Amino acid sequence: MDTQIFKPDEVTAAAALLKAGQLVAFPTETVYGLGADATNEHAVKQVYAAKGRPSDNPLIVTVTGPDMVTQYTEPLSATAKQLMQHFWPGSLTLILNLRPGTLSKAVTGGLSTAAFRNPQNQTTLNLIQAAGVPIVGPSANTSGKPSPTLAEHVYHDLKGKIAGIVDDGPAAVGVESTILDLTADVPTILRPGAVTEEDLAAVIGTVRSNHHKVGATEVPKAPGMKYKHYAPNAQVYIVDQVTDWPAALAWAQTLDGPVGAMALDDVLAANSLPANVEAFSLGQNVASASHRLFDGLRHFDLESPVKTILTQGFAATGLGAAYMNRLNKSAGQTHFQK
Ligand code: TXA
Ligand code: MG
């Protein structure tokens, strides 16, 4: 199948494909998503096939706002309403109890809950409006690979497997949404994102966070957390301290072949790079680093292949919690040690 590229003003044509049961990738402020009509079980099943995604890993339901959510859920709690008011549209996904029989098992993986997300991208809100139905929206990458922050990344992974891609340029945030479980006793963060624990606590008070505590034998609450994720072909090493870079680069120099180095501009400027090391700038701060992380990992897979990538670590607070969560998974928890 030919994969058509749509511009933001061509969403009517893209919506027609969705209504016909086809797959269309769409932009969001976090990463690109892979869309299918969430009410069409056959279409939703194709999403798993296109991504190579395990079928027990449920999908996010992407909506235009709270009204679309309540067609499928129990009446919203005061907490849910408050959160939607403050953070929607935006990078917060909410896990809510479903009304039985409303969404297919293909969407929910058989759970009695579902994840709802109202992205902050007008093109995609127009697309869903035009389709008239919520659309499922896992990240539009091959399962296990870094999430796509550019339409080109989607095209690389899924060309020939999906009907279209709506291209609205680079995703602003670069890491996926915060997932908050509102079906637990205390609202619980299952995946950190740009809406931070501090942001949530300021609006609803106590928030729990369980994304660091998933042990090998435990069943994770967000099923996706148990799978290998964000992994480039190269081995990633996290360089935790800025002061470790001279030793890390000296080690890189002893390796055979090219090595990638992903770090902030001031780190790159302060260190002289060995001839076999190629730099990829993460910009000035943790926000630009989050924006560029997946693009950098893909760069060293595709455009400039290496076997080893050194990547700067940050303190795991605020947006740094989201950045380190993704980096730790892509590195398989491997840290550079002096
Ligand atoms: O920013 C995002 O959230 C992006 C954009 C495209 O919207 N989407 C995204 O979807 O990251 P995905 O499928 O790659 O990640 C969704 C995660 C998975 O780990 C899945 O297991 C979890 O959400 N999830 C989905 N439904 C759930 C549920 N009912 N309970 C717990 N976790 C759920
Ligand atoms: Mg994903």
DSSP 79-147: HHHHHHHHH-SSSEEEEEEBPTTSS-HHHHTT-SEEEEE--S-HHHHHHHHHHTS-EE--BSS-TTSPP
Q: How far apart are CA 189 and CA 207, in angstroms?
A: 7
Nearest ligand for residue 188 CA: 1
Same domain, 107 and 256: no
Same domain, 205 and 255: no
| pTM, rounded to two decimals | 0.95
Same domain, 56 and 121: yes
Same domain, 44 and 186: yes
From the alpha carbon of 119, which atom of ligand 1 is closest?
7
Q: How far apart are CA 252 and CA 264, in angstroms?
A: 18
For residue 233, report the distance from its CA to the centre of ligand 2, in Å. Answer: 17
Same domain, 69 and 132: yes
Q: Is the ipTM, as predicted for this complex, more than 0.95?
A: yes
Number of domains the chain contains? 2
Question: Which one of 176, 196, 226 terminates a domain?
Answer: 226
52 is a domain residue: yes
- Taking residue 32's Cβ as centre, other Cβ atoms within 10 Å add up to 32
What CATH number corresponds to the domain at position 191? 3.90.870.10
Q: Return the pLDDT at 231.
A: 84
From the alpha carbon of 59, which atom of ligand 1 is closest?
25
| Domain, as residue range, for 280 | 235-330
Cβ(232)–Cβ(298) below 8 Å: yes
Q: Return the pLDDT at 18.
A: 98
For residue 139, report the distance from its CA to the centre of ligand 2, in Å. Answer: 4
Same domain, 261 and 324: yes
Q: Return the pLDDT at 223.
A: 65
335 is a domain residue: no
Mutate to test the pocket of ligand 1, among 179, 211, 218, 229 (most ligand atoms within 8 A of CB): 179
Q: Return the pLDDT at 217.
A: 43
Which residues have CB under 6 Å of ligand 1?
28, 30-31, 33, 57-60, 93, 95, 111, 113-115, 117, 119, 137-139, 176-177, 179, 190, 221-225
Q: Which residues contact 188 (CB under 8 A, 6 or more apart)?
A: 180, 181, 207, 208, 209, 210, 221
336 is a domain residue: no
From the alpha carbon of 93, which atom of ligand 1 is closest?
3
Nearest ligand for residue 30 CA: 1
Cβ(113)–Cβ(21) below 8 Å: no
- Protein residue closest via CA to atom 15 of ligand 1: 138
Same domain, 219 and 239: no
198, 199, 178: which is closest to 189 by C-alpha? 178
101 is a domain residue: yes
For residue 59, report the distance from its CA to the centre of ligand 1, in Å. Answer: 6
For residue 303, report the distance from its CA to the centre of ligand 2, in Å. Answer: 22
- Protein residue closest via CA to atom 32 of ligand 1: 222
Q: How far apart are CA 26 and CA 246, in angstroms?
A: 41
247 is a domain residue: yes
Mutate to test the pocket of ligand 1, among 60, 97, 175 (most ligand atoms within 8 A of CB): 60
From the alpha carbon of 113, which atom of ligand 1 is closest?
29
Same domain, 242 and 200: no
What CATH number corresponds to the domain at position 304? 3.40.50.11030
Q: Return the pLDDT at 289.
A: 98
Question: Which one of 167, 201, 226 terminates a domain?
Answer: 226
Same domain, 276 and 218: no
Same domain, 161 and 253: no
- DSSP states of 230-259: S--SSEEEEE-SGGGHHHHHHHHHTSSS-E
Q: Return the pLDDT at 36.
A: 98
Specify burial of residue 265 (Cβ count, 10 A radius: 0-12, 13-18, 19+). Answer: middle
Nearest ligand for residue 121 CA: 1
Using 70 as the pLDDT threshold, list the residues of the chain that sit under it.
211-228
